[in-house]
Amino acid sequence: MAGVTLLRLKKEMEMIEKDPPPGCSAWAAGDSVHELEAVIQGADDTPYAKGCFRLRITVPQRYPFEPPKVHFVTPIYHPNIDSAGRICLDILNMPDGNGKGAWKPSLNLKTVLLSIRLLMSEPNPDDGLMVDITHEYIHNRALFERTAVERTRLHATEEAAAAAAAAAEPEASEPPAAATAASGGAAASSSHDGAAAPPAEAEDDARKKPRLE
């Protein structure tokens, strides 16, 4: 089974590299071929336009007979994606007999990425994962879109990436408190020693002064 999975994954990743799906990219995350990273760009004319959303994909050992596990790393304001990045999408689940799951071995990672991008553009309020956002999407679309645009600006744009990078940079290093205290202590000790033992020049001057009888 592992051999089938590896061959399938290799073929699919080559396909994504040579002919990437619109607005999507994916690559191996580290040494394991079962852990992937992906980026989906928000489509134009949606609240997610100009946003780049990072995802994490875990491919199970039984792939393609089991669906990949996918979640958003970048926060997104969406009825079908929760605050932990979990996605409510039928093809990411095995059929359960109740019409909820729609995964089948003929699907692939390219299809998964395109389906998620489509879900971003066309939320499914009939299968909402976030109750409050789903209600807002149905009953106050303008407010939903304004909030989604603002969250995209805060989390998924170049401006957000630059802010995150700046926050991650270490501040100008200051001497540790212990080192500062030690330095201060050494200086104090030096000063104390100087007071107890006057310089040789001072002793010479004292010897040169005539004694008063």
- Residues carrying an active site annotation: 88
Cα 43 from Cα 87, distance rounded (Å): 18
What b-and-e string marks burial along 37-54, b requiring 16 or more CB atoms within 10 Å of the CB?
ebbbbbbeebbbeebbbe
Cα 47 from Cα 51, distance rounded (Å): 9
Q: How many C-beta neighbours within 10 Å does residue 103 have? A: 19
Q: Work out the angle at residue 72's Cα, subtended by the Cα atoms of residues 67 and 73, and round it to the nearest 5 degrees.
A: 130
The residues near 189 (Cβ < 8 Å, ≥ 6 apart) are: none
Residue carrying the six token digits 């212990």 = 178
Cα 152 from Cα 78, distance rounded (Å): 11
Q: How many C-beta neighbours within 10 Å does residue 116 have? A: 22
Cα 24 from Cα 112, distance rounded (Å): 10
Q: What amino acid is encoded at 177 in this protein?
A: A
Positions of E strands within the chain: 24-28, 35-41, 52-58, 69-72
